[in-house]
Structure 1
Amino acid sequence: MKPVILVLCLLFGVNVLTGAQSIRPFQQGDRVVFTGNSITDGGHYHSYIWLYYMTHFPNVRFRVFNAGIGGDVAQQIYDRLDSDVFAHKPTMVTLTFGMNDTGYQYLSKEKADSVYNVRVAKSLTSFRLIEQQLKAHPEAKIVMIASSPYDETSKIKPAPFIGKNAAIMKIAAAQHQAAITNKWNYLDFNTPMTQIAGREQQNDSLFSFQNGDRIHPSNDGQMVMAYIFLKAQGFANTKVADIGINSTSKTIQAGNCTITNASFTPSAIKFSYLAKSLPYPMDTIPSGWGKPAKAQYQSLKVIPFTDEFNQELLKVKGLKGEKYLLKIDDKNIGTYTANDLEKGINLATIKITPQYQQALAVMQLNEERWEIERRLREYYWMQYSILKPKGLLYNDGDAVADSLQKYARKDFFIAMAYPTYRKARFKSVRDAWQKEMDLLIDQLYTINKPVVRRFEIVALK
């Protein structure tokens, strides 16, 4: 193992000897259900993971389902396993919990520890029920995920609940032991995210992935979670494509792509390029949790995602001129020196290339899918968090709707979800949303296929 890779493995908590951070890559036809609380419910990490596959493995079609419910603890997850998780007939189920299980209380450290111990014990009692239910579904691969951290170290406001993250990690330890016992996969979001935040806070005491409340990772943190997951699936150093040109010998080497129709003249090199992958696009618009919200691309400041996962390299040796114009599909991409081209250009970071623009369209359609799924998750939040405890699960009649509208005047969370619920309580509306998502997924797996691009490297006088 190379020293640099070993350092990264140690930094991100990967047990290189036992392979504890190892997850089977998704396969054709998989149905993957991400189960959790609001960090999953309103989060993007599962969507970012799916986007990686859509762009890097465009012919591997599978489904990802969000089964997060805001506010859930282990008992609530157990109560909805059949109806909200296994109803999707999954081939893989991930499970993360613990943030809500440990509670939210400002207490002295001594008293807090006592309260946390009680809460953890209660959570683990419910987890044993979950464990038995998961064991009853051997057709599904199980991945235990240690919760993303509660940030106790940033100097942001509000003041932290001292000891909360240690309590979360007690739950994670039980998840890890269950994974060992049952030969399930285990993944730790908490440790690497805590380490990265601690490193960044040495220079910026206000740094946090959870700007708004110390709980919910903003989109940069969600991308870090996706990075950790993909790394555990073994995709680090998997290139988008690798083009190596020797202008002296007039030869081209191609990695994860096909080069045809190459021609060499004293003033230009031309060829057709068909990659097997697209570059991974990054959203630059701040959104999601946190105030101020952060954009997905801001994660690149703290993780080596570009170096490890998003390399579309073009290298040209033996050029005699000083400057060259790169054109793709007759579009001017940039001007480079012979030295630049010999060192190599990462096309995946150039947003104006036709292939990056194609990937951006995939990203935007995937966001549309995510938005529709979020509407459905708001409906299911109302069902499981509000109606089920009252014995009114899926009772969507006018009387219940009117009652919820009255509750919304006093309850902020019900008020936020009620406008969506008012529409989604009609099955025909939910069916239409589901059909819209299905159409979007069909379109995603149509527009994500790389196409032949015509490259020109032209000498400039």
Structure 2
Amino acid sequence: MKKWILGFIALWLLQGVACAEAFRPNERVAFIGDSITHEGSYHTLIQAFYATRFPDRNVQCFNLGISGDIAKGGAERSDPSGSAIWARDVRSVRPTAATIMLGMNDAGTGHFLSAKTKDELEAENAKRFGYYKNSYGQMLDNLEALGVDRITPIKSSPYDQTQVNPKKPALLQFGIGKNDAIVAMGRGVVDVEAAVRGFSVCDFNTPMLELNARQQKDDPAFSICGKDRVHPQEEGHMVMAWLFLKFQGLESSVAELTVDARSPQVVDANNCTASNLKTSGDQISFDYKANALPFPRSAYQAAAHLIEFESEFNRERLAVRGLKTGAYVLNMDGVSVGEYSAAELEAGINMALLEQAPQMLQAHEVLRLCEERAELANTLRGVMFSCKYLKRKGYDSDDIVACKAVIDDVIAGEKAIYQQRALQEYADWIEGYDEQLEKVESMVEKIYAAARPGTHRIELSLRER
């Protein structure tokens, strides 16, 4: 592992970050957040990891992000008894667990540009801190009233106030930046509430800033937070998923198998089985079944230069002792997936790197289904976003007939394309919201069916010279 990664993780742990328990079987997890959650993929990657690593656990992750949302919105959407569509958002997925990542919008934007003095800026930050504190506490009260017994506050991914970006000047005035306000809310509200209620806090902000700083030494224009300093892209969301999985203490091998070709016999098997071992001339074969699937490399390749996901989470080790010197062709289910020397096989190879291996093809199908489910869920996010938008425009989003009658005019009067799209999703899906949510839920059954590990015949044959 890169020494600097070890260094900042050690520092992060020394700062008091506690690890949380992994999600339990049949857990229904509400990922509450703003646009970083609404439009992002870290929760989809976590869903895919749980499906591939724990195929019998049936964990369901639900995207409950709303673009532009603040802690007040989170409190309103988690109302334990309200009848409005907006108030039922969290309740609609019947969560048993929840994560909360809010603060980016609570920290504000405009006052960093308009403040004339440092005192004026600090006064506005203090006011926003107070709003955040009151609403955050109410949100936690609501979730507990809903019976959500496992809550994980997440300190928000950073606003990048250090990137060199002439097209998007940083919100940094009088030595105080937007991320400084986010950090202050994390320390003064998230940490305090968590300590009082006995929650473990997952911190995205600190380690992501550290990764940023390392990269910006060589490339000042780099940002893990995206071109707008706010929204992480593919690599950033993978980093967030990695941080969350580490927070839950899930670093482990997919499976580990050691076979002695001379006996032949299984020397060691971890999270897998091997049976029906046979040797014939310069060939050994056996039936192999792991209890988990590897994680698709395509999901973390963009962040491979930033994190050690592969060594920490994606090792499916096969070691074969006692082979004659030479090069061996590895076949799985009759398909050639690689060629290795006897020395390499004795040291152990990582089957999670074999793109054509049947278990990797299966893992890619699981990821595809998770992404398909995320697309379905995103239409529901557009509906819920539009409920807030329509209310702000003076309409009652619960009066579906009235809203649909004016929706074309509302869309025509809106310049932002993403808001137009969300309003169209309200028009298309508001009457079928419950049915669409059922589709999202039904996808989980398909995901876990696809993730069920199978038995594969492995053959190693000495390649003819």
Which TM-score applies when normalising by structure 2?
0.89
Match of 2:420 among 402, 415, 422: 415
- In the alignment, what sits opposite 2:136? 127
Specify the SS of the correspondent of 2:74: helix
Specify the SS of the correspondent of 1:14: helix
- In the alignment, what sits opposite 1:155? 164
Deviations 1:241-282 (A, max 9, x none): 111123344332211100000112340110000110000014
Match of 2:356 among 352, 355, 379: 352
Specify the SS of the correspondent of 1:405: helix
Structure 1, unaligned stretches of length 5 or more?
Answer: 285-295
Task: Supply the RMSD in Å over aligned alpha carbons.
Answer: 2.2
Matched, 1:25 2:22: yes
- In the alignment, what sits opposite 1:59? 56
Specify the SS of the correspondent of 1:269: strand
How many residues align? The count is: 441
Give 1:388 shift.
6.4
Matched, 1:88 2:85: no
1:387–1:394 contact (8 Å) kept in structure 2: no
- In the alignment, what sits opposite 2:337? 333
Match of 1:171 among 169, 180, 185: 185
Give 1:431 shift.
3.7
Give the whole-Å Cα distance in 1 for the aligned partners of 2:340 and 2:114. 60
- Which sits farther off after the overlay, 415-424 or 45-54? 415-424
- In the alignment, what sits opposite 1:451? 454
Match of 1:403 among 401, 406, 421: 406
- Which sits farther off after the overlay, 151-160 or 45-54? 151-160
Moved over 3 A (4+): 3-9, 111-114, 134-139
Matched, 1:70 2:67: yes
Give 1:103 shift.
1.0
Which TM-score applies when normalising by structure 1?
0.90
Structure 2, unaligned stretches of length 5 or more?
Answer: 80-87
Q: Following superposition of structure 1 onto structure 2, how do residues 180-219 of structure 1 map, counting pairs within 5 Å?
A: 180-219=195-234
Deviations 1:144-172 (A, max 9, x none): 11001001122233111111001001111
Q: Following superposition of structure 1 onto structure 2, how do residues 265-276 of structure 1 map, counting pairs within 5 Å?
A: 265-276=280-291
2:397–2:403 contact (8 Å) kept in structure 1: no
Deviations 1:164-214 (A, max 9, x none): 001001111110111011111211010011111111111222221222311
- In the alignment, what sits opposite 1:289? none
1:326–1:333 contact (8 Å) kept in structure 2: yes
Give the whole-Å Cα distance in 2 for the aligned partners of 1:46 and 1:99. 18
Q: Following superposition of structure 1 onto structure 2, how do residues 423-438 of structure 1 map, counting pairs within 5 Å?
A: 423-427=428-432, 430-438=433-441
Matched, 1:100 2:115: no
Matched, 1:371 2:375: yes
Give the whole-Å Cα distance in 2 for the aligned partners of 1:381 and 1:5. 38
Cα 1:306–1:161, aligned 2, differ >3 Å: closer, same or farther? same
1:15–1:21 contact (8 Å) kept in structure 2: no
Cα 1:4–1:316, aligned 2, differ >3 Å: closer, same or farther? farther
2:224–2:232 contact (8 Å) kept in structure 1: yes
- In the alignment, what sits opposite 1:145? 154
- In the alignment, what sits opposite 2:346? 342
Specify the SS of the correspondent of 2:170: coil
Q: Following superposition of structure 1 onto structure 2, how do residues 208-287 of structure 1 map, counting pairs within 5 Å?
A: 208-236=223-251, 238-252=252-266, 253-283=268-298
Match of 2:76 among 76, 79, 82: 79
- In the alignment, what sits opposite 1:441? 444
Matched, 1:38 2:35: yes
Give 1:124 shift.
1.7
Give the whole-Å Cα distance in 1 for the aligned partners of 2:184 and 2:91. 27
Cα 1:346–1:92, aligned 2, differ >3 Å: closer, same or farther? same
Specify the SS of the correspondent of 2:218: coil
- In the alignment, what sits opposite 2:84? none
Deviations 1:2-36 (A, max 9, x none): x999746325x2248x5x33222111121111111
Give the whole-Å Cα distance in 1 for the aligned partners of 2:181 and 2:8. 26
Give 1:97 shift.
0.7
Aligned residue identity for 2:28: R
Cα 1:459–1:8, aligned 2, differ >3 Å: closer, same or farther? farther
1:116–1:164 contact (8 Å) kept in structure 2: no
Give the whole-Å Cα distance in 1 for the aligned partners of 2:393 and 2:14. 41
Specify the SS of the correspondent of 1:33: strand
Give the whole-Å Cα distance in 2 for the aligned partners of 1:386 and 1:80. 15
Q: Could you tell me the percent identity over the aligned residues?
A: 32
